[in-house]
Amino acid sequence: MSPLNKPEMIPVGVIKPPYTQLKTRTPIPMASPALDLTLIASGREAFAAFVGDDGTQEVMTQLANEHGWSESRVLNGGVTEAIQVLADVPTPELLVVDLTGADDPLAAIDRLAAVCDENTRVIALGELNDITLYRSLIDQGVEEYLLKPISAPAIEAAVTAAPRQKGSATQEVKNGRQIVVVGARGGVGSSTVAVNLAWLMATDQNLRVAVIDFDLYFGTIALSLDLEPGRGFRDALANPGRIDGLFIERAMVRVSDNFFVLASETSLDQPVDFDPVAAEMLVEHLRQEFDCIVAEVPRGLLTAYPSLLSAADSALVVSDLSLAGMRDTVRLAEFVKNAAPVGALKVVANRAGAVKKGELSKEEFQKTADLKIDCVLPQDLKPAVDSVGAGKPMAAVAGRSKVVSGLRLLSRELSGVEPVASTSPLKRLFKR
Ligand SMILES: Nc1ncnc2c1ncn2[C@@H]1O[C@H](COP(=O)(O)OP(=O)(O)OP(=O)(O)O)[C@@H](O)[C@H]1O
Ligand SMILES: [Mg+2]
């Protein structure tokens, strides 16, 4: 079922009688007598769909017509019927199966895989909005899982998307790192940290990086990069069924060849239909295309949807060194420890030295909070001001400042790129 090695296309619409009769087959109850399952047995076809309801059938028929495939390949049934029908005949190049009603969709897909030819592309449809199911299906070689009701653009995008490069021994599949950034309090610099880390990974380390601003109303990541975010990101978050490579590609704003942004400037009177499964699917897709995904999530959203942390490689809680910051860091860190994988939590103290009186020292903060601070970034006004003036991150305008040096070290630790050996000319001289 691996979608690699796209087979030679059989001229569409060419189905020559006599159709091979299905061998030992128990009759399948059919809602529509117009559909003839035996049609699928006429050699390797371009397309077949097994769908269980009228709405889906209509959309699939439209798809077939648009691609010049025979409508008769839209069959009534679901994955069980697909398994029965395809057991002894060549499987089509593209197979759409409805998982609705299957007791165990994963087991059903396993059985389907056993009767499918190597290079059949499978798109699954279903009603279960569940990221674990989605991941497992993709792992099993299903190319896309779309939620019902299916829209014509969603199925069209899934069909025309480049086949997933999964399960190939020869082709490398990215499994990008996900870094979640959350501010313990407002104004502590979480957006600054997120955008600079992403910029450093893309520019210093030459990695493919996507930065996501989940603060859909008040996010400042696009602003700090002087970008105009479109509405694609907001649409994607409301429609898990539309999340696919093409859709995401359209929603992303390009900063450079290897640095992309997903952000939104939603007007305040516009409600956002945030679906956490859509967000997880989105990140899951991006992981296949990018080396690092830096996602800034407002703390309210994160606590409402802890599943946003479930696949994070690192979860950064950014705070200042104030007492209130420490208190909120403790609470948020506890939350992150429970929701994110073990060891993902990192505490970043930003704007250290900003307040002369009343600020905790690193040691006081760590002792009272019973938490390790992984990185301290100083308050550094000039880079911050220059950054705003230039519409670029601090790292782009003040690469040698202390705050950017700290961020650079942190970015390497998070992306897994080894720190470069000291570039001091004297040290290089002595090394010879
Ligand atoms: N280390 C730093 N030194 C100096 N200024 C900083 C530093 N970090 C952030 N700032 C500045 O602090 C302000 C707030 O930063 P930022 O917008 O990143 O915070 P935030 O936590 O995302 O805020 P919000 O809660 O409003 O989203 C900005 O003007 C930024 O330039
Ligand atoms: Mg912010």
What pLDDT does 259 receive? 96
Residue 350 in contact with ligand 1 by CB distance below 6 A: yes
Identify the three-state secondary structure at position 317: strand
Report the pLDDT averaged over residues 339-364.
94
What pLDDT does 43 receive? 62
328 alpha carbon, closest ligand: 1
What pLDDT does 428 receive? 45
Buried b (16+ CB within 10 A) or exposed e, 175-201: ebbbbbbbbbbeebbbbbbbbbbbbbb
- Of 76-90, 242-256, 372-386, which one has max mean pLDDT? 372-386
Pocket test for ligand 1, best of 180, 182, 191, 220 (most atoms within 8 A of CB): 191
Q: Among 21-25, 176-180, 357-361, where is mean pLDDT lowest? A: 21-25
What pLDDT does 239 receive? 72
Q: In the chain, pLDDT over 70 holds for what percent of residues? A: 83
Return the residue matching tokens 């105009």: 228
**Judging by DSSP bridges, how do beta strands 209-213 and 144-147 pair with one another?**
unpaired
DSSP 8-class letter at 104: S
| Residues of each domain in the chain carrying CATH 3.40.50.300 | 177-415
Q: Note the residue count of the chain.
A: 432
What pLDDT does 269 receive? 86
Report the pLDDT averaged over residues 313-324.
97
**Which residue CA neighbors atom 16 of ligand 1 most closely?**
189
Judge whether residue 288 has pLDDT over 90. no
Topology (CATH level 3) of domain 177-415:
Rossmann fold (3.40.50)
Read off the pLDDT band of 173 (50, 70, 90): low
The arrangement of strands across the sheet holding 253-256 comes to 253-256, 259-262, 209-213, 292-296, 177-183, 314-319, 345-352, 375-378
Residue 182 in contact with ligand 1 by CB distance below 6 A: no
**Which residue CA neighbors atom 31 of ligand 1 most closely?**
384
0.85 surpassed by pTM = no
Q: Among 145-154, 246-255, 393-402, 419-428, where is mean pLDDT lowest? A: 419-428
Residue 384 in contact with ligand 1 by CB distance below 6 A: yes
Which pairs count as long-range contacts for 18-21, CB under 8 Å and 24+ apart, including other chains?
20/89
Tokens linked to 53 = 């309801």
CB 375 within 8 A of CB 355: no
**Higher-pLDDT residue of 330, 43:** 330
Give the CATH architecture of domain 37-160.
Answer: 3-Layer(aba) Sandwich (3.40)
Read off the pLDDT band of 232 (50, 70, 90): confident
- pLDDT tens-digit profile of 395-404? 999 999 999 9
3-class secondary structure per residue, 361-405: CHHHHHHHHCCCCCEEEECCHHHHHHHHHHCCCHHHHCCCCHHHH
- pLDDT tens-digit profile of 205-219? 999 999 999 999 999
| Residues of each domain in the chain carrying CATH 3.40.50.2300 | 37-160
CA distance 159 to 327: 50
412 CB-side CA count, 13 A = 12
CA distance 130 to 173: 23
For residue 64, report the distance from its CA to the centre of ligand 1, in Å: 52
Report the pLDDT averaged over residues 3-32.
30
**Contacts (Cβ under 8 Å, ≥6 apart) of 393:** 192, 195, 196, 199, 224, 225, 387
Residue 38 in contact with ligand 1 by CB distance below 6 A: no
- pLDDT tens-digit profile of 117-160? 878 999 999 998 887 888 788 888 898 888 888 888 888 878 87
Mean pLDDT over the full length of the chain = 83
Q: What residues does the ion ligand 2 have nearby, CB within 5 Å?
A: 191
- Say what the alpha-carbon torsion angle 415, 421, 425, 426 is, to the nearest 10 degrees: 150
What pLDDT does 106 receive? 94
What pLDDT does 365 receive? 97
Residue 401 in contact with ligand 1 by CB distance below 6 A: no
For residue 420, report the distance from its CA to the centre of ligand 1, in Å: 28
- Say what the alpha-carbon torsion angle 399, 404, 410, 414 is, to the nearest 10 degrees: -60
